[in-house]
Amino acid sequence: MERVRGVLKAHLERAYAPYSGFPVVALVEAEGESFLGVNVENASFPLSQCAERNAVAAMVLSGKRRIDRVHIYSPKGPIPPCGGCRQVLLEFGSPETEVVLHGPEGYVVKTLGELLPWGFRL
């Protein structure tokens, strides 16, 4: 866990969050590989993209589609993912998928099922 925490913290400065001042880094573990994402904001605020969804996009581009575990780091954390990201994570994970919420002082582990009970799936 300490190695992952180091990777998350090392990428914090890559987040582009000039409007909210709220940088977030996400790391998705999928099929033996790791994929990073940071939040990327926009002057047209609704176009901003969350860190989790950018990590999922990197995973899909690489050809992986099964999320085994997710890590989310914020200097204000542990913070939970937004509702939309919970749904996106469920698309490639399961209710049992671990979501590790990190902050500077430590982390808490939840499951996707706890964060998104009765989640919609086709």
- Which residues are designated catalytic? 52
Residues that bind ligand THU (CB under 6 A): 17, 20, 22, 24, 39, 41, 48, 50-52, 72, 81-82, 85
Identity of the residue, 30 or 70, whose beta carbon is nearer to ligand THU in the bound complex: 70
Q: Measured from the CB of residue 40, what is the shortest distance to ligand THU in angstroms? A: 8
Q: Measured from the CB of residue 54, what is the shortest distance to ligand THU in angstroms? A: 8
SS3 category, 34 = strand
Identity of the residue, 37 or 68, whose beta carbon is nearer to ligand THU in the bound complex: 37
Cα separation of 95 and 106, whole Å?
23
Q: β-pairing, 67-73 with 98-103?
A: parallel
Our CA dihedral for 9, 69, 106, 110, rounded to 10 degrees, sits at 140
